[in-house]
Amino acid sequence: MLSKPISFAVLTVSLLILAVLSQPVTAAAQEGGFVYAATNNPAGNAVVQYIRSIDGRLAKVNEVSTGGKGGTGNGVGKLDPLGSQDSLVLDDVGSLLLVVNAGSNQLSALQAGSAGLKLLSTVPSGGNFPNSVALNGNLIYVLNAHSANITGFRITSEGILQKIPNSTRSLPGGSASAAHDIRFTPDGTRLVVSEGGTNQIDVFELNNSGTVRGVTQQASAGSGPFGMKFGRGATLLNSEANTGSVSSYDLTSEDMLTVISGAVADTQKASCWITLTADARVAFVSNTGSGTISSYNIAKDGTLHLEKIKAGVIAMGAPIDSALTTGSEFLYAVDSALGRIVAFRVNGATLTQIEIVTGLPQTVQGIAAK
């Protein structure tokens, strides 16, 4: 388990930004919440805000430019333009959004919440084709897929992104990395990156300053490591696109990943995106090639058990990114190729479709919910 505490000068960024949110979009926001999606439009990226009613249905209330451009060409055509998970990230409070602009090599920060959306800052990402971003307190790291590196930033209480000097670090796999996701460990001491091209998982150890001081790399238990989430006890769960499976690991104090359950198959195709319920007992995995979402039960020790091959089905669609609401009552899945979001009610490990929200471009990628 993780055993290296680290002391970052973490600012109360989220709370300070939340304090300025004064005018609610509508009273219904107090009863439900919000869902956000990035258009990833190459002509001009934007974030769309939806208000969520208490029954899980969505209504568009806002759309704000990120100041950058979306990108395509890293994934599988319109099915998966960015080839990544976590291209749009919402903080725990629900007041700060981070979004990558792969077409213009930029990262943007936006104010979110009941006052609507507001662009706070947009900066160069430190590389080419940023496709995933990770947030821990006021520390941020961006994964730049085409330049195969990661770059660190701090964000001020006003939402201004500032690059950390000497924070850019190349991925061990180099140009062959085909990297898909970047995550902080729960204690913030390390970063984990999935390299689908080399079938490796990278663990970067961080200094107190937020820069990288070392990296270890090891083979994935399944083929094509893609999306990642941390569960109970800092257990790492990783979906695997090529084998249609999920693996779980214990990250040791020596930065090694010990396999708990290796490549537990769901018998579906292109199992790329993964999300966990709030209690980390159930994982939902998007099977893009099969048009389905599978569910896994996660034991306290991290052991995985396939619960439902088809927890939910997206008719004639290809689910990619998904997001659960804070209490895990609802799940929202992006169907980029058809420019839509599919909404589900969650009942344990089963999903029941509520509605389909259309009107998004066929480049949409990245979703967050609160």
Token pair recorded at residue 294: 């599978």
* Beta-bridge partners for 265: 245
What is the predicted pLDDT for the residue at 77?
A: 67
237 vs 31: CA distance, rounded Å? 32
**Which of 289, 257, 260 shows the shortest CA–CA distance to 272?**
289
Classify residue 1: in a domain, yes or no.
no
Classify residue 362: in a domain, yes or no.
yes
For residue 165, what are the CA distances in angstroms to 2, 102, 137, 192, 321? 27, 22, 18, 20, 32
pLDDT tens-digit readout, 270-313: 999 999 999 999 999 999 999 999 999 999 999 999 999 999 99
Q: 273-299: b or e for each residue (b if 16 or more CB lie within 10 Å)?
A: bbbbbeebbbbbbbbbbbbbbbbbebe
What is the predicted pLDDT for the residue at 74?
A: 75
pLDDT tens-digit readout, 229-256: 999 988 999 999 999 999 999 998 888 9
> Residue 8, Cα to own-chain centre: how many angstroms?
22
Q: Which domain holds residue 313?
A: 13-369
CB atoms inside a 10 Å sphere around CB 269: 16
70 vs 258: CA distance, rounded Å? 37
Print pLDDT tens along the chain (370 aa): 444 444 333 444 444 434 433 344 544 444 689 999 999 999 999 999 999 999 999 999 999 999 999 999 877 767 899 999 999 999 999 999 999 999 999 999 999 999 999 999 999 999 999 999 999 999 999 999 999 999 999 999 999 999 999 999 999 999 999 999 999 999 999 999 999 999 999 999 999 999 999 999 999 999 999 999 999 988 999 999 999 999 999 998 888 999 999 999 999 999 999 999 999 999 999 999 999 999 999 999 999 999 999 999 998 899 999 999 999 999 999 999 999 999 999 999 999 999 999 999 999 999 999 9
225 vs 22: CA distance, rounded Å? 42
Classify residue 2: in a domain, yes or no.
no
Residue with token string 């850019």:
168
110 vs 122: CA distance, rounded Å? 9
Strand order in the sheet with 58-65: 58-65, 46-52, 33-38, 367-369
Any residues with CB less than 8 A from the CB of 137 and at least 6 apart, and which?
8, 10, 11, 13, 188
**Which of 96, 93, 245, 246 shows the shortest CA–CA distance to 157?**
96
> Can you list the alpha helix ranges (DSSP code H) found in the chain?
13-18, 28-31
What is the predicted pLDDT for the residue at 142?
A: 98
What is the predicted pLDDT for the residue at 73?
A: 80
Classify residue 230: in a domain, yes or no.
yes
What is the predicted pLDDT for the residue at 31?
A: 64
CATH code, domain with 37: 2.130.10.10
Classify residue 3: in a domain, yes or no.
no
Classify residue 5: in a domain, yes or no.
no
Instruction: Say how many domains are in the chain.
Output: 1
For residue 81, what are the CA distances in angstroms to 85, 88, 211, 351, 353? 11, 14, 30, 25, 25
